[in-house]
Amino acid sequence: MSAALSVAREVCYPLTSDLDVVSARRVVRDWATEIGLAIVDLTKVVTAASELARNAVLHGGGGVMCLQVVQHGERRGLRVTFKDKGPGIADLDLAMSDGYTTGRGMGIGLPGSKRLVNEFALESTPSDGTCVTIVRWKA
């Protein structure tokens, strides 16, 4: 029998502006440091969080970011969830393909973020918003 996932700490932050994206980067970095993520893992989760927070503001019209320190057996990690009430993503496969962009970006946002974390979940309903959850486990 495997251990259940437990949440040791949770806080949510609004994502409504570029300033909130900057704050999101800072708070994710602070929490990752507190749980002892190595510098490479810390950099990866901060980069992914920054991209996903920016997406929520730019494409989702704003939303919320929730951070959780999670424990699964002996493993400890940082789970970050981004939710918006924007137009949603009509074609998830297309959105997850390298090079696809709806703006002037390089098209590495969602698939690039997925490669930077240990776990990645994406749910989106057209006209009802998007939810992306990432987890980076302490090595």
Identify the domain containing residue 111 by its residue range: 5-137
Mean pLDDT score, 86-112 = 79
Domain count along the chain: 1
Binned at pLDDT 50, 70 and 90, residue 108 comes out as low
Looking up residue 42, the CATH number of its domain turns out to be: 3.30.565.10
The pLDDT assigned to 91 comes to 87
The answer on pLDDT for 139 being more than 80 is: yes
Helix (H, G, I), strand (E, B) or coil at 92: helix
Q: What whole-number distance in Å separates Cα of residue 22 and Cα of residue 16? A: 11
Note the pLDDT of residue 103: 65
Q: Report the chain's C-alpha Rg in angstroms.
A: 15
